[in-house]
Structure 1
């Protein structure tokens, strides 16, 4: 499936298409409902289903001091979007020049001229164009003059907490509280961060519980400090390989017992495995359930006892 990063990459005469626009941060169930509508509308019209998104997100350019960490890294986000059945994704670099385009300029250049839109699917609260001056009514006006239909999709969804819309803001708040299971209910899957496995202090291996430490740039929003049950996925192995997705007990934080880790670290111990060499592999860490907060133990023996309990609890959660 094509993933374009420039209008010049779009084949001449592309279209007809059904198009949508958004940041799709986290690609939660509400986003997938919108993208699913795009796909269905495209199939019904014998057209191509296309999503337009941005990297970096607009807020990171216009107001970086207010921009939150993205729930999912950009590649994970695009993979999740592609999984909805889209025929193409256009990833535009958000710049001050693009931000200065009027709603009419943006829609005509991108949706009409480049993508040959025959229909546009938007959520009720969508905004676009300079100063977010365009809305669903603006899109209808442009559609009337440029010969495309507008399909409006209202906010949808309830969570296990009751009648609350699926939203990236809600997911971010839940991850900040360590409630990864409730976040997963909105996302429709466990929350994931990704990164490269790097050498740490090897303290876990010395204690009999080796860990894969994520270093460098960790993509995705790291949940609050604590210990979690989850999974480690090895991207270098093919899908379907039994060694690709492995059960894990995951620690997030600065390791208060030893007090020598200056930054927050994500490290995953693969359950019942002492033989793995994961250094320099690209992996994903999926958070299923929080077991506890971080605690400073008075001795290594106390820490080892608790780690054993964490492993047992993780096994019970992941396998029932």
Structure 2
């Protein structure tokens, strides 16, 4: 049987890496897995269950960068989970490892049969493949779930196709989650994700204005393609393994400089030096849109109210968690 989640190493393979004995004859879940949302977890869960039942390893096969970034390089893509965060989330699902394929011109030109033969059979040596109902692969998306079943029958591996996961009749998808976040609907996004939307970035030096206002903040630059609605949020921040309540502003600071978007987070009842550290910030509730104030005093009054509301929201949610 596979090792328990607490003891197993999570192995990351890159295209061409030798597959270790611990990942031989794997059950492979295939997908882009941006967000590792509940729909993705249905596919991954099916693979993990099959693997455990057969005493085999379970592996995710995913692609970097996201194929859309390759085909439409001039259209920046809002990634829910950049590669490091995606791999960390995959590791938490019970998988034994992940195989990451570079999505480049060579892969884009590979037809569906070559994908099956060269990647699934010759490289990974799959025993079973699990994919979502809408997964397509190979040049011009020539590989369908039906093709995958037929190829599995020819090459001797099992295939399981997972039906869509619906929420109130609507399909859970990465695009639906991105749309919700763009409108500030972080609670709806969390429902589809199965956890609060989370970002990770390095804390940088800001203009120190927060200190002068009584709200010293950890400042982070997110990917410019991030389409999260500008505004004020109740968030939590993981510091030294502890999830701490906080309030955050994401936007351009219209009262001051209307500059490039930045995430500024004030952690309640905590002080310390966070510069240069990578922090994870989880978004729990949208409090209000970003506003331009006539002066410092009305801004501080509003910040006090934002903090009160964030504390009230997070006091219940973090204690439940």
For normalisation by structure 2, the TM-score amounts to 0.92
* Residue 207 of structure 1: aligned partner: 213
Instruction: State the Cα RMSD in Å.
Output: 1.7
- The reply to whether residue 295 of structure 1 matches residue 291 of structure 2 is yes
> Within 2, Cα distance between the matches of 1:64 and 1:199?
30
Q: Report what 1:251 is aligned to.
A: 249
Residue 230 of structure 2 corresponds to which residue in structure 1?
225
Counterpart residue number, 2:305:
309
C-alpha contact 1:55 1:74 (8 A) present in aligned 2: yes
Could you tell me whether the CA contact under 8 Å between 2:253 and 2:259 is conserved in 1?
A: no
Provide the aligned length of Structure 1 versus Structure 2. 307
Change (3 A) 1:14 1:192: closer
Checking the alignment, whether the CA contact within 8 Å between 2:76 and 2:225 is kept in structure 1 is no
Q: Which runs of 5+ in 1 are unaligned?
A: none
Q: State how far apart, in whole Å, the 2-side matches of 1:316 and 1:271 are.
A: 12
1:19 Cα deviation (Å)?
1.1
The counterpart of 1:173, out of the listed 160, 174, 179, is 179
Kept after mapping to 2: 8 A contact 1:54/1:94: yes
In the other structure, the counterpart of 1:125 is: 134
Offset of 1:218 from its aligned partner? 4.0
Q: Distance in 2 between matches of 1:12 and 1:29?
A: 30
Please name the residue that 2:67 is paired with.
58
Describe the SS at the equivalent of 2:229.
Answer: coil
Partner of 1:82: 91
Any idea what the Cα deviations from partners look like across 1:141-176, whole Å, max 9, x if unmatched? Answer: 211110011111100131xxx321111011000000
CA apart distance, 1:245: 2.1
For 1:209, what is the secondary structure of its paired residue? coil
The 8 Å contact of residues 77 and 225 in structure 2, kept in 1 or not, is answered as no
Structure-1 residue corresponding to 2:278:
282
Q: In the superposition, relative to structure 1, how do residues 13 and 251 fare at CA in structure 2: closer, same or farther (>3 Å)?
A: closer
- Cα separation, 2, equivalents of 1:212 and 1:176: 23
Q: Structure 1 residues 153, 38: CA separation in 2 closer, same or farther (over 3 Å shift)?
A: same
Other-structure match for 1:136: 145
Q: Against the structure 1 CA distance between its residues 285 and 20, is the aligned structure 2 distance closer, same or farther, given a 3 Å change threshold?
A: same
Alignment pair present for 1:267 and 2:264: yes
Whether the 8 Å contact between 1:124 and 1:154 is mirrored in structure 2 is yes
Task: Answer yes or no: is the 8 Å Cα contact 1:192–1:220 preserved in 2.
Answer: no
SS at structure 1 position matched to 2:55: coil
1:164 paired with 2:170, answer: yes
Closer, same or farther: CA 254–135 of 1 in aligned 2, 3 Å: same
Give the CA deviation at 1:119: 1.2
Judge conservation of contact 1:228–1:289 (CA < 8 Å) in 2: yes
Structure 2 residue aligned with 1:194: 200
- Tell me what 2:315 maps to: 319
1:229, 1:290 within 8 Å by CA — same for their partners in 2? yes
Q: CA deviation at 1:13?
A: 9.5
Tell me the equivalent position of 2:124: 115
Give the C-alpha shift of residue 272 in structure 1.
Answer: 3.0
Tell me by how many angstroms 1:33 deviates: 1.1
- Closer/same/farther in 2, CA of residues 13 and 228 from structure 1, 3 Å limit: closer
Match of 2:298, SS? helix
Aligned residue for 2:166, secondary structure, equals coil
Q: C-alpha separation between the residues in 2 aligned to 1:96 and 1:129?
A: 12
Alpha carbons 1:194, 1:218 under 8 Å: kept: no
Cα 1:35/1:219, change in 2 over 3 Å: farther
